């Protein structure tokens, strides 16, 4: 039985794809409002997860975070989009020239820009999570 609308909980489960972990934070609010963060490719599960959450938590701000750790111990393979980095660098150099700023674009700045570096896992279009595993951690 839920006694307060403010709380925190987490659960994890080992699956065929790795360790599936869900974290839920709630804050009291008059209406139900869910914010979901899931791995790329899991958007198709959002409506289902929101239904499960609303059934247990009929009101409040709910922040839900789902992660999947492959757990093979290997570091993720990084993909670098050199063309995108070049386009960013060119645009930033033009901007600096236009504004007459003395600024050099460094590697540390470029790798933080959207789409320049990503892991191979984030490039996967779909992650196949079993519904029973998903329900168990949620």
- For residue range 7-44, what is the model confidence (pLDDT) as tens digits? 999 999 998 888 999 999 999 999 999 999 998 778 88
- Of 62-76, 83-97, 105-119, the least confident: 62-76
37 and 89, same structural domain?
no
User: Which helix or strand (DSSP H or E) is residue 49 part of?
Assistant: helix 46-56
- pLDDT at residue 43, as a whole number: 87
> Is the domain of 108 the same as that of 132?
no
Quote the pLDDT of residue 46: 94
Inter-residue long-range contacts of 124-129, CB under 8 Å, 24+ positions, other chains counted: 124/40, 124/41, 125/40, 125/41, 126/41, 127/17, 127/39, 127/40, 127/41, 127/42, 127/68, 128/17, 129/15, 129/17, 129/20, 129/42, 129/45, 129/68
In terms of domains, do 63 and 86 share one? no
Is residue 121 assigned to a domain? no
pLDDT value of position 88:
93
CA–CA separation, 124 vs 65, rounded Å?
Answer: 19
92 and 37 within one domain? no
Among positive and negative, which fits the CA dihedral 123, 107, 88, 84?
Answer: negative
> Residue 48 falls within a domain, yes or no?
yes
Q: What pTM was estimated for this model as a whole?
A: 0.61
Q: What pLDDT is recorded for position 82? A: 94
pLDDT reported for residue 133: 86
Q: Is residue 43 part of a domain?
A: yes
Where residue 4 falls among pLDDT bands split at 50, 70, 90? low
Please check whether residues 67 and 131 belong to one and the same domain: yes
- Residue 132 shares a structural domain with residue 87: no
Is 93 domain-assigned? yes
Verify that 17 and 61 share a domain, yes or no: yes
In a domain, 21, yes or no: yes
Q: Does the residue 2 lie in any domain?
A: no
Name the residue range of residue 89's domain: 82-115
**Residue 88 counted as domain residue:** yes
- The answer to whether residues 31 and 86 belong to one domain is no
* Assigned token pair, 1: 């039985």
Coil, helix or strand for 40?
A: coil
Whether residues 53 and 109 fall in one domain: no
Residue 98 tokens, joined: 């236009």
- Note the pLDDT tens digit of each residue in 76-97: 678 899 999 999 999 999 999 9
Domain total in the chain: 2
Q: What's residue 73's pLDDT? A: 56
Query: Sorting pLDDT into bands at 50, 70 and 90, what band is 45?
Result: very high
Residue 62 predicted with pLDDT over 60:
yes
Q: Which of 112, 115, 117, 110 is nearest to 91 (CA)?
A: 110
- Per the domain annotation, does 103 fall within a domain? yes
């Amino acid at each position: 039985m839920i006694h307060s609308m403010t709380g925190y909980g987490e659960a994890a489960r080992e699956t065929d794809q790795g360790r599936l972990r869900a974290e839920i934070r709630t804050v009291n609010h008059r209406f139900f409002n869910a914010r979901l963060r899931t791995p790329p490719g899991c958007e198709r599960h959002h409506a289902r997860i929101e239904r499960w959450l609303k059934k247990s938590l009929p009101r409040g701000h709910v922040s839900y975070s789902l992660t999947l750790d492959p757990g093979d111990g290997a570091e993720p393979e990084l993909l670098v989009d050199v063309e995108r980095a070049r386009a960013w660098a060119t645009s930033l150099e033009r901007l600096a020239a236009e504004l007459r700023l003395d600024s050099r674009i460094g590697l540390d700045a470029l790798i933080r820009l959207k789409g320049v570096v990503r892991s191979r896992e984030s490039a996967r279009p779909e992650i196949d999570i079993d519904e029973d595993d998903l329900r168990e951690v949620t």
